[in-house]
Amino acid sequence: MKKKISILGSTGSIGVNTLEVISSAPDRFEVVGLACGTQVSVLEKQIEDFHPKMVSVGKEDLARGLQQKFPHLEVLWGEEGLVSLAKDSRTDLVVSALVGARGIEPTLAAIESKKDIALANKEVLVAAGALIMPEVHRHGVRLLPIDSEHSALFQVFENHNRNSIEKIILTASGGPFLHRPKETFPLVVPEEALKHPRWSMGKRITIDSATLMNKGFEMIEACWLFDLSPSQIEVVVHPQSIIHSLISYRDGNMLACLSAPDMKAPISYALSYPERISTEVVRLNLAKVKELTFLEPDVEKFPLLKLSYEVAKKGDVYPAVMNAADEIAVEAFLRRQISFVQIPQLISETVSAYQESFPLSLEGILGADAWGRRKAEELIKVLS
C-alpha cells in the first residue's frame, strides 16, 4: 500500500526535493496535499505532475485563481487552509517544511490528528518544543527529522542504547564566511551571504548558516528530539559536510553518519522509515574526498551560536523570542535595512529586552513570537 503524503511548503527547497524523491518511487508514495505561500506557478506544475486531492495557498485571491484552473481540486487558503490540510484524514505522513514559526499550528494539528511528521521546519521545535514533544508522545506518532544533522543522529541512535551517550556532536559547514576576517563583516552584502559553499537552501536558512544561527537552532532542536541538555551537545565546524553528526559514548567510542551533502538522502529516509529505498544520491568515494577537517567554532566571530546556548538554558519562551527576532533580522538584512553585523546585535538586544510572562502554551508561544517581532521592528528603526 502506498504511503500517503502531504507537504507543507511544497515549493521551497525541501518541498521540491521531497517531490523528487516521491517521483523516483511512484509505487511507494502518493501525494495527497500540497501547500505553499505565493509561488503559485510552481504549485500549478506540481499539481499537474502529482495530482493531489487538495492544496492550500497563502491568500484568498490566489486560491480563487487556482480553483478556476483546477475546478475538481479542493483549494484552501490562509492559516486555516494549512491546518485543514495537515489534519486531512487521507494523509499518513505530513512533511513540515514551512519556514519559521508559522509552521507551529499546522504541525501541532497534524500531530493531534495522529499523523506522522517528517520535520524540516526546525523553528517548530525551537519555539515550541515544550508544547510539541509532549503531544508527540501523547498521540503516539513518529517525529522523523529531515535536517541532515538530526537525521544522522536519528539513524545512529536507532540501534544503540541512549543511556550510554556522553554527548552528541553537530557539524557545521562554517558557511560562506568561515575564513573571512571578522573586521570585514560590516561590508558583507546579501548576495555574498546567500552563496553557501555546500548546500542549496532557502534564503532565510542560508543567511542563518552564514551567521551560525542555524546551528544554534539545530542545537535546540536536538535537545527536544533526543531529550538532551545543551551541555550534552557540541558543535564543530566541518567544511566538507560529509560527516553530518557524531555520537560520543561513555566507553570512548564514537559513531558517525556520513553521506554526500544532498538533502534527498535524509528526506528519503524520513519518507520510507522504517525501510530504506534506493536513491540517486551520489555515493561517497572516501579516497577522492581524501581528508576530513574539523575546527572549533569561533563564537566571537559568530556570537549567535553562543547566544543560542544561553537561550536554551533559559528555556521558557526565550527561544520563541529569539526565533522571532531572527526572522525579522534576516528579512531586514535582505532588504538592506541593517548590516550583516547588526543581525546578531538586533537578536541579542531583543532577547535581552524580554521581560514579559507569556505561558508555555500555544497562545503564549505565539504571543512571545509576536512580541519578539514587534520589539525587533522597533530596534530596526533605531539601528537603521
Domain ranges of the chain: 3-145, 148-313, 316-384
For the full predicted model, state whether its pTM sits above 0.85.
Answer: yes
Mean confidence (pLDDT) of the chain: 94
Q: What is the DSSP letter of 282?
A: P
Closest by CA to 12, choosing from 148, 201, 279, is 201
Superfamily of domain 3-145, CATH level 4: NAD(P)-binding Rossmann-like Domain (3.40.50.720)
pLDDT (tens digit per residue) in 332-345: 999 999 999 999 99
- What's the rounded Cα separation, in Å, for the pair 367 and 101? 11
* Whether pLDDT at 161 is above 90: no
pLDDT confidence of residue 157: 80
* Whether pLDDT at 60 is above 60: yes
Instruction: Take residue 268 and report the three cell numbers written for it.
Output: 528519503
Closest by CA to 199, choosing from 223, 171, 221, 222, is 171
Task: Indicate the angle between helix axes 213-226 and 123-139, nearest 10 degrees.
Answer: 10
* Whether pLDDT at 65 is above 70: yes
pLDDT (tens digit per residue) in 249-270: 999 999 999 999 899 999 999 9
* Whether pLDDT at 147 is above 70: yes
**What number is the average pLDDT over the span 152-179?**
86
CATH number listed for the domain at residues 316-384: 1.10.1740.10
Cα dist from 73 to 55, 259, 267, whole Å: 8, 39, 27
**What number is the average pLDDT over the span 89-100?**
95
The DSSP H or E segment spanning 359 is none
* Whether pLDDT at 289 is above 70: yes
Return the amino acid letter for 17. N
* Whether pLDDT at 378 is above 90: yes
**b vs e for 117-144, b when ≥16 Cβ sit within 10 Å of the residue's Cβ?**
bbbbbbbbbbbbbbbbbeebeeeebebb
Residue that is written with C-alpha cell 514579559 in the block:
356
8 A C-beta contact, residue 117 and residue 141: yes
**How many C-beta atoms lie closer than 10 Å to residue 237's C-beta?**
19
pLDDT confidence of residue 11: 96
8 A C-beta contact, residue 11 and residue 55: no
8 A C-beta contact, residue 162 and residue 247: no
Indicate the pLDDT class of residue 198, thresholds 50, 70 and 90.
confident
Cα dist from 94 to 32, 51, 85, 270, whole Å: 10, 17, 9, 11
Q: Strands of 243-338 (E only): list them.
A: 243-249, 254-258
> What proportion of the chain, given as a percentage, has pLDDT over 90?
91
* Whether pLDDT at 366 is above 80: yes
Indicate the pLDDT class of residue 202, thresholds 50, 70 and 90.
confident
- What's the rounded Cα separation, in Å, for the pair 251 and 144? 28
pLDDT confidence of residue 110: 98
Burial class for 355, CB neighbours closer than 10 Å (0-12, 13-18, 19+): exposed
pLDDT confidence of residue 159: 57
pLDDT confidence of residue 160: 61
**What number is the average pLDDT over the span 90-100?**
95
Closest by CA to 371, choosing from 348, 342, 350, 341, is 350
- What's the rounded Cα separation, in Å, for the pair 89 and 247? 37
Strand partners, 57: 77
Indicate the pLDDT class of residue 383, thresholds 50, 70 and 90.
confident
- What's the rounded Cα separation, in Å, for the pair 95 and 120? 7
> Strand 116-119 and strand 54-57: pairing?
unpaired
Edge-first strand order for the sheet with 233-237 is 233-237, 165-172, 243-249, 254-258
Return the amino acid letter for 193. A
